[in-house]
Structure formats: structure tokens, C-alpha cells
Amino acid sequence: MAEESITIGKDAIYSIVIVLLAGLLVVSIFTQGFGIVKAECPDGVNATECPETPQADTNSGENNTETSEPELPQLTVEFGSYPPLGDESAPVAMVEFTEFQCPYCARHYSQTEAQLKINYIDSGKLKLYFRDYPLPPQYHPQAGIAAIAGRCANDQGKFWEMHDKLFDTRELWSGNSEADSLFKEYAIELGLDNETFSSCYDNQSHAEEIVADLEAGQSYGVGGTPASFLIIPKSKVDAQSFESACDSLNEEYKYQDSYTGEWVYPFVLHEDANDYTILVSGAYPYTVFDAFLSEVNY
């Protein structure tokens, strides 16, 4: 059985992962990977951080009838510990919380990410960061060990090569009880030191980093995979035009929640002192990302 290949010597990482994500990721499964987090506030924002309604000016003794634009929810997303795909000095960053067994993540890789690489990454405009967000084994049995394989390849400077190999061969190892052997074969094919990789893989090295990524994603409002954060310097865009682009996309892609009947707007715009950060929850087409990225003055 596929799950048996994971539980042998691998309980440590999954016992932690299941506790962290059991409730959260059930929602992800039933929304088919589009990771919508139902909350009063936008994704990844605590209730105490939501914009407040402007108040009267108590110092003037009169009610202030002027209203100001509400502030955007505050969010700063860290890049994680993997090296970027693309030029590290690229002005725009994209942080993906994803996993190798998820079919929607595979589609995002083969379609959206492939076009982003051609049009933005290879030209030095965008850098891409990967962060691990594997579902627990009762949903995706090989997701956790695939994450370990990626981490062990990264130790030898071949993360992105293993990243591509795992996605390109997903149909071979997904649900396969012999996935362990396949991953070790991939390491040999990529020119990695076999003994070093096997030791790292068998000892479940880097489990703590994977859990750290899971916890970070949860704190940012990730509810399923893939979830992408576009991080764009405020100095590179016109604020009004950029927010209008976000509003336009939300209007185009909004959908009605089948349980609550409420309208869901899938693109959540955040900010911090220096950047705008857009959370894109789900495997949306390249045109969505291009609509945001085309607003940037590179």
C-alpha cells in the first residue's frame, strides 16, 4: 500500500504535520486545491488587523465628515530557505506554497510557471521562491517524502533540477509504494552523490524546515495548494492603477460559495512599508499573474 511506504521511519514529520493541518487542509481537499479560507477578514489577517472605520476627529470638537481610504491589511511574506529560480536581484518576487503530489500544483508548474519563466523569470524581472506545503499522508501519501527528496537535493545544489524532475514524473511516483527507490534513482540521474542523498533521505533530514514552511504558510493565510504571493515594490507601480487591476480581476474571477452563498473574491491585496503583496489562492492561469506583473515599471 502507498501509505505503508511513508509510515516506515517517517512518523516524526507526519505526526507534526497532521496536528498542524488536519482541520485546515480538509477544507483544501473539498475545495479541490483552491484553498479558500473563510474568515471575517481577508486571508492571512487577524481580526485585530482589519481596517477600522474612520472615526470623528475628537480634537476639533466637530465631526469630521471626510472619509479616508481604508488601509490595506498588513503582511510581509518571507522567502524561505530555498534558493530562488531566477536572478536574485530581480525587482519582483513570487513565493509559492506548494507540493509535488498535488495535481493542481502540477498544472500550475507545467502551464503558468512555465510561461512566467519565459516572460518574466528568464528576463530578470521576477524571481521565484518555493516553500513546502505537503498535505498529510491520508490525502497525498507521497507528498512529504517528495519534499524530503527536494530538500536533500538542495543540499547538493540541485533543488530546482529535482523540483522539475518530481513534477515531470509525478504520474510515475504518485500513489506508488516504490516512490523511495524512484527518488533515489532520480538523485543518481541528476548527478548527486548517492550515499549523501540516501543518508539524508533515509534519516528524514530537514523535517523541521518543512514544518517551518507549513507553519509560515498557515500564518500567511494559506489554506490549500498552490498558493502564490506576488511581492511587488510600491515604488514600481502606480497605486491607483494597481489596485484597480486587482479589483478588475476579482470581479472577473469571483464565485459564489456553495455553502454560504457569499461571493468570494480570490485575490487579496496586502501591503507593508515597502511592498504590495497579492495572495493568489489556487491554480489560476498565466493571464492572472501577467495582469499584475504587467503593471510593474521594471
Flag whether 176 is in a domain: no
Q: Is the peptide bond before 226 cis (omega within 30 degrees of 0)?
A: yes
Could you tell me the CATH number of the domain that includes residue 232?
3.40.30.10
What sections of 98-193 are H helices per DSSP? 103-107, 114-116, 143-155, 159-168, 170-173, 179-189
Q: Do residues 94 and 128 make contact, with C-beta atoms less than 8 angstroms apart? A: yes
Fill in the amino acid letter for 30. F
* pLDDT at 69 (0 to 100): 57
pTM of the model: 0.78
Flag whether 147 is in a domain: no
Flag whether 161 is in a domain: no
Flag whether 241 is in a domain: yes
Flag whether 191 is in a domain: no
CB count, 10 Å around CB of 136? 22
DSSP 8-state symbol, 120:
I
Flag whether 193 is in a domain: no
* pLDDT at 71 (0 to 100): 83
Flag whether 260 is in a domain: yes
* pLDDT at 250 (0 to 100): 97
Question: For the chain, how many structural domains are there in total?
Answer: 1
Flag whether 198 is in a domain: no
CA–CA separation, 278 and 121 (whole Å): 18
CB count, 10 Å around CB of 201? 20
Domain range for 236 is: 4-135+216-293
Q: What is the pLDDT along the chain (298 residues), one digit of tens a residue?
A: 333 433 334 554 555 444 444 444 434 433 444 433 333 444 443 444 444 433 434 444 444 444 455 689 999 999 999 999 999 999 999 999 999 999 999 999 999 999 999 999 999 999 999 999 999 999 999 999 999 999 999 999 999 999 999 999 999 999 999 999 999 999 999 999 999 999 999 999 999 999 999 999 999 999 899 999 999 999 999 999 999 999 999 999 999 999 999 999 999 999 999 999 999 999 999 999 999 999 999 9
Residues 131, 135, 136, CA angle at the centre, nearest 5°? 130
